[in-house]
């Protein structure tokens, strides 16, 4: 939420996700992660999302209600081979782990409904460099030319 320059996200699945927006009195308040991303887009934060499958209907509907995102505030690219999960914020902080961009994956569905996931959050420069390099290779379609799943892609990443 505090990103100033960039947020890069990679996940296999994109589903509508509610995130903690703090408390109002004694009650917890939640908001769509797309509201957060729209606020960031309005502040000029570079937003990139790399995913494997078409987003869920609720995600697409919520996305379409965000003019700051629909108008190019976020770049979405799809590759059926993407299975890594990461978030890089401002090229200085990253999460790398097993959780998809879903309520069950990120623990929003409740203590007894969430998946068992594992990941790390780090500011380590070596890890950040490696994670960003891999994300960027896939983003640019470096491996598309020799990919055996290329026929499944509506728009191969190297054709952009």
Q: Is the dihedral of CA 80, 50, 113, 16 positive or negative?
A: negative
State pTM to two decimals. Answer: 0.89
Question: Could you give all domains of the chain from N- to C-terminal order, each with its CATH number?
Answer: 6-159 (3.30.870.10)
On whether the CB atoms of residues 49 and 14 are closer than 8 A, the answer is yes
> Which segment, 18-27, 77-86, 97-106, is predicted with the most confidence on average?
77-86
| DSSP one-letter code for 155 | S
What's the pLDDT at 109?
60
Helix (H) or strand (E) holding 34: helix 33-42
Contacts of 122 (CB under 8 A, 6+ apart): 93, 94, 96, 128
- For the chain, how long is the longest CA-to-CA vector? 56
pLDDT in tens, 114-130: 778 899 999 999 999 99
Q: Does residue 98 carry a pLDDT above 70? A: yes
The more confidently predicted of residues 147 and 16 is: 147
């Amino acid at each position: 939420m505090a990103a100033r320059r960039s947020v890069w996200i990679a996940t296999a699945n994109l589903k509508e996700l509610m995130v903690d927006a703090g408390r109002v009195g004694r009650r917890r308040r939640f908001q769509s992660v797309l509201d957060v991303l729209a606020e960031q887009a309005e502040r000029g934060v570079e937003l990139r999302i790399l995913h494997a499958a078409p987003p869920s209907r609720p995600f697409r509907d919520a996305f379409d209600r965000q003019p700051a995102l629909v108008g190019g505030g976020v770049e979405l690219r799809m590759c059926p081979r993407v299975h890594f999960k990461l978030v890089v914020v401002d090229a200085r902080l990253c999460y790398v782990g097993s959780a998809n961009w879903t309520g069950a994956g990120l623990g929003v569905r409740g203590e007894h409904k969430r998946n068992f996931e594992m990941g790390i959050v780090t500011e380590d420069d070596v890890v950040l460099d490696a994670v960003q390099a891999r994300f960027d290779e896939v983003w640019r379609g470096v491996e598309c030319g020799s990919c055996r799943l290329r026929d499944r892609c509506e728009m191969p990443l190297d054709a952009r």
